[in-house]
Structure 1
Amino acid sequence: MNNKRLIISQILFFFIIGCQQVDTVKPLPSGHYSVWEIIEKTEARAPDGLTGEFKLHIKNSGKQLARLFLNTQEDYRDRRNITVTLLPSFQEAFQKKYNENIRSYFEDHTILVRGEAKRMKVWFFSNGRRTEKYYFQTHIIVSDLDQITRLD
């Protein structure tokens, strides 16, 4: 009798669990995902990305070689950060149109960026050589002036 109760309770348990509604991430009322939702979606879709239009507040920027980076967190290594990578083609077009410092123009402003948010592996280097250590970032690569608009 105890085995029968155990089996029935297990069946009931799995039936109830199976019937529960799974929460899905939905855009904010504005139609845009929050930063954290973008990060979660890109992780779930990896190696594929999430294509769309993203509203982001830029808190910091950086430069490495010919690329500029706009970040949603002060620390670009922060797990909650999304990095907007500005390629040289974008930078040239921006300078021709606005003739302003790109980093100053976007820092501490909200932007609308169109493209693909994608989870990227970032490797650590030591003495000029890649180590076995890495972490993940969410990037949106911008190559064209039409992909990004400052909102405020």
Structure 2
Amino acid sequence: MTQGKAAVVFLALVFVAGCTSVPLVTTQSWIDPGQAVLRAAGSPRLGVTGVFALTVKGAGRTNNVHLNSEVDYRDPRNLSISVTPEAAAQLEETLGAPPEMSLRGRRIIVSGTARRTRIDFMIDGKPSGKYYYQTHVSVTDASQLQVL
């Protein structure tokens, strides 16, 4: 094939590809932890609503179960999924084990709103005046969380 014919074939393929209704590049349908933290910081009152995807690298339980995108939950890049006791009980029934144990190391997607949450350092049960922010997504129903 000559160079001229090859160029015509190439241009024809580009034109046909441009006319298709199927996108050539797919977009990610969820928000990663880094973007969630940045967007929530940029909109502190409203937060950012969407579907968040993360690998659970750390987990623990206070009153709520916390599933973290980072090993250290104090890491500013951490996205913490805060699961209410009711939702945690639903998940435990489905998963066969407490979510803080069964989801560690697993990839999950969560629907909700990521919001900056002020965390006060306490001394003898009283706020010290020092604080930092975490980014939390509240899960109040097990249907908000899926294991990939």
Report the TM-score range of the alignment, normalised by the length of the smaller protein.
Answer: 0.7 to 0.9
Residue 45 of structure 1: which of 37, 43, 46 is its match? 43
Deviations 1:8-62 (A, max 9, x none): xxxxxxxxxxxxxxxxxxxx93222232111111011111111111111110101
CA distance in 2, matches of 1:138, 1:144: 19
The one of 31, 36, 57 equivalent to 2:55 is 57
Pair 36,96 (structure 1): closer, same or farther in 2 beyond 3 Å = closer
Q: In 1, distance between residues paired with 2:134 and 2:41?
A: 10
2:86 counterpart residue number: 89
**Aligned letter for 1:149?**
Q
- State the secondary structure of the residue aligned to 2:30: coil
Paired residue for 2:18? none
Residue of structure 2 equivalent to 1:133: 130
Q: Could you tell me which residue of structure 2 aligns to residue 5 of structure 1?
A: none
How much is the aligned-residue C-alpha RMSD, in angstroms?
1.4
**Which range is displaced more, 29-38 or 124-133?**
29-38
Unmatched tracts of structure 2, length 5 or more:
1-25
2:140 to 138, 143, 150: 143
Who is 1:35 aligned against? 33
- Give the match for residue 14 of structure 2: none
% of aligned pairs identical? 27
Distance of aligned partners of 1:101 and 1:92 in 2 relative to their CA distance in 1, 3 Å threshold: closer
Cα shift at 1:93: 1.5
Residue 105 (str. 1) matches residue 97 (str. 2): no
Q: What is the DSSP-based 3-state SS (H/G/I as helix, E as strand, rest coil) of the residue aligned with 2:93?
A: helix
- Residue 129 of structure 1: how far off its partner (Å): 1.1
